[in-house]
Structure 1
Amino acid sequence: MTSRRVTRVRAYAPDPDAPGRPCDMPNCPNMGCYRAPRSRTSLNDYLWLCLDHVRAYNASWDYYKDMTPGQIEQELRADASWQRPTWRLGTNGGPKVPDEAVLRDPLLNLGGRRPNRPDPSEQAPAELRQPLDVLGLSWPVSMDTVKARYKALAKKHHPDTNGGGDAADARIKAINIAYSTLKTLWPADERQMARS
């Protein structure tokens, strides 16, 4: 039976980037193959130590030595955001939260409340409001929806299907006038979209 060979580097293996010089501890004849930070304020400036001295150095290392409890707390809080500055949304350079009237949230993802919006019928052009009301439609609406609604109402209120009479004639006339008004006054860009 053959044993598997471990290919990962052991934790105590010498640093491959070692400068090849003697240990930085005085009177040590061994090679300095392991790095250790000189201090808390200069973590990228290293001492190069031998294995025995780096073990002793690490055992006595205390990053928080000589810090007050307040400084330790501040350091821990800064570590929670990887030493990057943070701030509340809308302050200190973050994007400003828009006014609720400007904010559009149709799926109610941002708080579960609908912002106050104007009545949808008030958004329709003034000349289209009355014809849309006759057809029973509210703004916004597409021309295809207007055509489908007109056909359904014309079929439902046609004098031949209702037995005639003045009321049926007046109703179908109002429906026809509303539809022809919408066709002629409908915004040009939407008419072109409806044709294509």
Structure 2
Amino acid sequence: MRRPGKDRPNTRFHGRFEDNGRACEAPGCSAPGEFRAPGAESGPADQPRRYRWFCLDHVREFNARYNFFSGMTPDEINAAQHPLSGWERETRAFASAGGDVPPRWADFTDPLDAIGGRFRRRDARERSDGPPLSDGDRKAMRVMGLEANADRTALRKRYAELLQRYHPDRNGGDRTHEHALREVIEAYQRLRKAAAFA
């Protein structure tokens, strides 16, 4: 493939259309109209857009004085410049209460519950009273053995139970559960500061 040189300009992005015998629409110009510009009137939406055809010099003049907003009211200009133009129509909201519903084509057997578990996992993470749990909070809830909807009273009660179970003083000085005790204390410290238990 030959690369365009200085004597042969690149014709790929020139904006010129094939000359089909159209003359430039500028008054008094007989050059071929190879460049199109928006039509003067806006026709009905169901009809093809009308273009005006100019030579290179006259299309440059047209572009220099063209104003898309001419003839519009300030409200119409604002509507045309709105960043969400074209997105005003109502859309369907995403489901949040029921989790992701599997698609209808997913009517296959899932003996290990590998795929179906994903859809139930989201329900298990949500709290009915509103405050969400972070991933760290959910991990702490698992360490404490609490349900997602547990309240502050249930948290304290479960903390006391686990302290009695794992503390060396309650187990005759046995320190084998020290790691589990440390995890319970860290989980409780995290959860008591969480927004869900405030």
Using the size of structure 1 for normalisation, the TM-score is 0.42
